[in-house]
């Protein structure tokens, strides 16, 4: 592994960055906390291949025994996928992980922070966190990180379990540019429609890369959010998923589930109730985001 700016990078990632080639960061909580073994490891490899298919180099990001890493070995991916002792780390947790020598899957905020340290500017994930329903003070660190870390994030919108309109308002307050790829309406993770019109529409990855470059040129100093709707053939029924989410939120409240445990609890309930359809949709949207991120990254260095 090659050491640089406190991030241990695989030789492939380090070489690509040194040569000015396109690199796409990938988060690792989808491996450690998002899916069961062995599907989590298989999907991680599929997502990396989706990036490669676009001509970019994937850099899956995690913390391994206290070391920030960009670009994982197959053994490291397997460890994240199987080890029940792997923790979930947001950006605020990175210092503690380093000092304690912990192994952690990184959330959106932590992945953005490590990507920025490594010099990686494009990041693909599933969906970002945001403002939770009901409690307006429960706001994901993903939004704060987007406000202060210059990384372009491709996602399928805000997770459906959140308050999407208030999340969009928060992004506006934080000066985070929002672009929607190929649609006028902001997507809602499992579905392409949220009922919210937000962000500028772009139909070409090259235009998105140009906007990102322009934001940097004017010294905006924030990240950029690119919302990429789930393909129609993989989307879930909006009414059905809405009712399922409401029921899952009620169950979480009744069982006293709170903090960082809420999202995995709700996603687990959704997958169980939809008989695996939610997990299948999640996988497809992540792959779709990885492909778009790869094209944007290639355009950005071209």
Distance CA 175, CA 200 (A): 14
Is position 299 annotated in a ligand binding site? no
Distance CA 132, CA 154 (A): 20
Q: Which pLDDT belongs to residue 268?
A: 79
List, in order of start, the domains of the chain with CATH numbers. 1-120 (3.40.1790.10), 122-302 (3.40.1790.10)
Give the SS3 label for residue 91. Answer: helix
Is position 142 annotated in a ligand binding site? yes
Is position 246 annotated in a ligand binding site? no
E-only strand ranges, the chain: 2-4, 7-9, 23-26, 57-64, 67-70, 87-89, 104-106, 122-124, 152-155, 178-181, 200-202, 224-227
Distance CA 4, CA 8 (A): 6
Q: What separation, in Å, do the N-terminal and C-terminal C-alpha atoms of the chain show?
A: 27
* Residue owning tokens 């792997």: 86
| Sign of the C-alpha dihedral computed for residues 146, 149, 153 and 155 taken in this order | negative
Contact 81, 41 (CB under 8 A): yes
Q: Which pLDDT belongs to residue 265?
A: 83
Contact 11, 1 (CB under 8 A): yes
Q: Which pLDDT belongs to residue 3?
A: 44
Q: Which pLDDT belongs to residue 274?
A: 83
Q: Which pLDDT belongs to residue 159?
A: 80
Any idea which residues carry the catalytic annotation? 27, 159
pLDDT tens, N- to C-terminus, the chain (302 residues): 544 448 999 999 999 999 999 999 999 999 999 888 999 999 999 999 999 999 999 999 999 999 999 999 999 999 999 999 999 999 999 999 999 999 999 999 999 999 999 999 999 999 999 998 876 678 999 999 999 999 999 999 998 788 999 999 999 999 999 999 999 999 999 999 898 998 899 999 999 999 999 999 999 999 999 999 999 999 999 888 888 888 888 898 899 887 767 777 877 788 788 878 888 999 999 999 999 999 999 999 98
Three-state helix/strand/coil letters over 32-75: HCCCCCCHHHHHHHHHHHHHHCCCCEEEEEEEECCEEEECCCHH
Instruction: Tell me which H or E stretch contains 167.
Output: helix 164-173
Q: Which pLDDT belongs to residue 136?
A: 62
Is position 163 annotated in a ligand binding site? no
What pTM does this model have? 0.93
């Amino acid at each position: 592994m090659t050491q640089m700016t406190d991030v241990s990078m695989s030789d492939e990632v380090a070489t690509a960055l040194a040569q000015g080639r396109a690199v796409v960061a990938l988060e690792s909580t989808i491996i450690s906390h998002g899916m069961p073994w062995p599907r989590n490891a298989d999907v991680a490899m599929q997502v990396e291949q989706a990036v490669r298919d676009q001509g970019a180099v994937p850099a899956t990001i995690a913390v391994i025994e206290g070391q920030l890493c960009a670009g994982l070995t197959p053994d490291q991916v397997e460890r994240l996928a199987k080890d029940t002792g792997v923790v979930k780390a947001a950006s605020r947790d990175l210092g503690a992980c380093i000092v304690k020598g912990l192994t952690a899957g990184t959330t959106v905020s932590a992945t953005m922070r490590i990507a920025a340290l490594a010099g990686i500017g494009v990041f693909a994930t599933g969906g970002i966190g945001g403002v939770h329903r009901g409690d307006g003070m429960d706001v994901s660190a993903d939004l704060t990180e987007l406000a202060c870390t210059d990384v372009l994030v491709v996602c399928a919108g805000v997770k459906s379990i959140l308050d999407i309109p208030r999340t969009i308002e928060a992004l506006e307050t934080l000066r985070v540019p929002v672009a929607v790829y190929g649609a006028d309406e902001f997507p809602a993770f499992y579905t392409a429609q949220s009922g919210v019109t937000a962000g500028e529409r772009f139909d070409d990855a090259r235009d998105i890369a140009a906007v990102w470059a322009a934001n940097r040129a004017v010294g905006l100093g924030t990240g950029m959010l690119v919302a990429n709707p789930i393909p129609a053939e993989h989307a879930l029924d909006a009414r059905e998923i809405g009712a399922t989410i409401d029921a899952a939120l009620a169950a979480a409240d009744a069982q006293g589930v709170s903090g960082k445990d809420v999202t995995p609890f709700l996603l687990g309930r959704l997958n169980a109730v939809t008989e695996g359809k939610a997990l299948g949709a999640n996988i497809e949207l992540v792959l779709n985001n990885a492909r778009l991120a790869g094209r944007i990254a290639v355009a950005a260095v071209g």
